[in-house]
Each structure stands twice: as C-alpha cells, then as structure tokens.
C-alpha cells in the first residue's frame, strides 16, 4: 500500500474516532428544557372576569433552563390588589393539568414532613394589599418511602414530559421523540381556584359561600439544543 493510501486510512480512522467521541459526549449531556409562563393569557382571563384590579399572579424564580426531569415545584406569587376584598385560594380544588389532558391535585409544599397526601388543605387567605408566596407541586411528583411512611418530591416534574418516553402507545412515543428533536412543544397548566368575599365575611358562613373563579395558568415546555448545557451558556 502506498504512503498516500496509508495516510488516507489513518485520517479516515481519526475522523471516525473524533466523531464517535463527540457523539458520545453529546449523548452524555443532560437534556435541557425551557419552561415559559404565558402571562398574557392569565391577564386576559382576569380581565374577562373583571378581576384585573383585584388579583395579580406571577411565578418567581423560573430558571432559564431545567433538566428534563425538573422542576418538581413552582414558586407562585398571588397579590390581592383590592382594598376591601378577601381572597381565598382553594388548594384542594386547584389542579395541574398535564399536556395529555390528565389532571393531578395540587400540593402546597410545606416545611413539615408530608405523611398523607389525602389530607385536606386549608384555603390560604390573602388580605387586601398583601401578596401570598407559596411553593406548589403536583401529587404525581411525590413518592412514598416504604420505611418512614413519608412522602417526598423525588420523581417526575410538574410538566411530566418523561411519562411518554416509555409509553406503550406508539403515538405517544412518537410525540416524545418529536419533542426531543425539537419539532414540537408540550404544554401544561396550573389551574387555580379562588373565592372572593368582603373582608368582614368569612369564606363560608352558613350558606353564604363566596363566589368562585378559576384562572388557568398555562406554561409551554420546549427542548433546548444540547449546547445550552455547556458551562458558558449556563452562566448567561
């Protein structure tokens, strides 16, 4: 074999080796996703219910990127803009609506040990001019420790994108692969239930139950290119 042919073989093997190593490196990087809160949709809902001057909703601390199995909770801020109304957040009737249409009960995170997810959650009162700040999660995120009998947020994310990765349904696996290849996005929402009452009237006195309103807080989830996992991109 001529020297030129030897050099060509060596170059070819070198390129194949570099390509394989690069592909392995990319595959080892955690999948990164971007979660966006569609605030304009919430503002429109509040306006339609004539609540734009009564309730303000925002989500604090949303990261620029997340691993595909995060976040396991969301930090929500609910502001009472009124001067004479009490706002009650009815946690037990709130829900996380997943991208496939299924609903999971909202769990208000607590510093205490969670021993039973079925326990009723007391509504939160927001007095005029104040803001409620809570961390909330989905019941689908919690897992029970068989030894201690307590629940901790250790599996899935509130978006629960990975549920279709191993789905036995072919169409669902296809949609997951489309998401990974950045050909589609997923959506989920946090559906909040409020009751409003005058400050001198409780949340329920006899049959006088304050009116109920529902606000859907939608989010979009999209897959990011692998380059977002690089350290210098994380620092931006």
For residue 208, give Cα distances in angstroms to 93, 124, 164, 192, 212: 19, 18, 45, 21, 12
Q: Quick one: pLDDT at residue 152?
A: 77
Dist. CA 87–CA 197, nearest whole Å: 7
The pLDDT mean for the chain works out to: 82
Dist. CA 215–CA 45, nearest whole Å: 7
Asked if the peptide bond before residue 71 counts as cis, ω within 30 degrees of 0, the response is yes
Q: Cα 222 vs. chain centroid, distance in angstroms? A: 12
Share of the chain above pLDDT 70, in %: 75
Place of tokens 């019941």: 139
- Taking the CB of residue 229, how many other CB atoms lie within 10 A of it? 17
- The pLDDT tens digits for 177-220 are 999 999 999 999 999 999 998 876 555 443 444 578 999 999 99
| Phi-psi category of residue 74: left, alpha or beta, with phi > 0 → left and psi -120 to 50 → alpha | beta
- The pLDDT tens digits for 65-102 are 999 999 999 999 999 999 999 999 999 999 999 988 88
Per-domain boundaries in the chain: 1-30, 32-234
For residue 183, give Cα distances in angstroms to 152, 175, 180: 34, 9, 8
3-class secondary structure, 188: strand
For residue 31, give Cα distances in angstroms to 19, 152, 181, 226: 20, 23, 11, 7
Share of the chain above pLDDT 90, in %: 50
For residue 67, give Cα distances in angstroms to 101, 140, 142, 159, 204: 23, 18, 18, 11, 43
């Amino acid at each position: 074999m001529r020297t030129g042919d030897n050099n060509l073989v060596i170059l070819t093997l070198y390129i194949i080796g570099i390509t394989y190593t690069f592909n392995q490196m990319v595959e080892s990087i955690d999948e990164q996703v971007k979660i966006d809160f569609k605030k304009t949709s919430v503002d429109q809902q509040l306006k339609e219910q004539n609540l734009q001057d009564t309730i303000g909703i925002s989500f604090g601390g949303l990261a620029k990127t997340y691993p595909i199995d995060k976040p396991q909770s969301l930090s929500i801020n609910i502001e009472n803009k009124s001067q004479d109304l009490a706002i009650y957040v009815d946690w037990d009737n709130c829900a996380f609506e997943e991208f496939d249409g299924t609903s999971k009960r909202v769990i208000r995170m607590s510093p205490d040990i969670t021993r039973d997810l079925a326990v009723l959650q007391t509504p939160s009162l927001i007095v005029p001019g104040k803001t409620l700040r809570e961390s909330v999660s989905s019941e689908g995120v919690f897992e029970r420790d068989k030894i201690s009998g307590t629940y901790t947020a250790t599996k899935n994310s509130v978006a629960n994108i990975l549920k279709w990765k191993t789905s036995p349904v072919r169409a669902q696996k296809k949609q997951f692969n489309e998401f990974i290849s950045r050909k589609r996005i997923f959506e989920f929402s946090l559906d909040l239930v409020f009751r409003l009452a005058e400050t001198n009237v409780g949340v329920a006195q006899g049959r006088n139950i304050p009116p109920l309103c529902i606000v859907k807080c939608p989010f979009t989830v999209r897959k990011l290119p692998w380059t977002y996992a690089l350290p210098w991109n994380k620092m931006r």
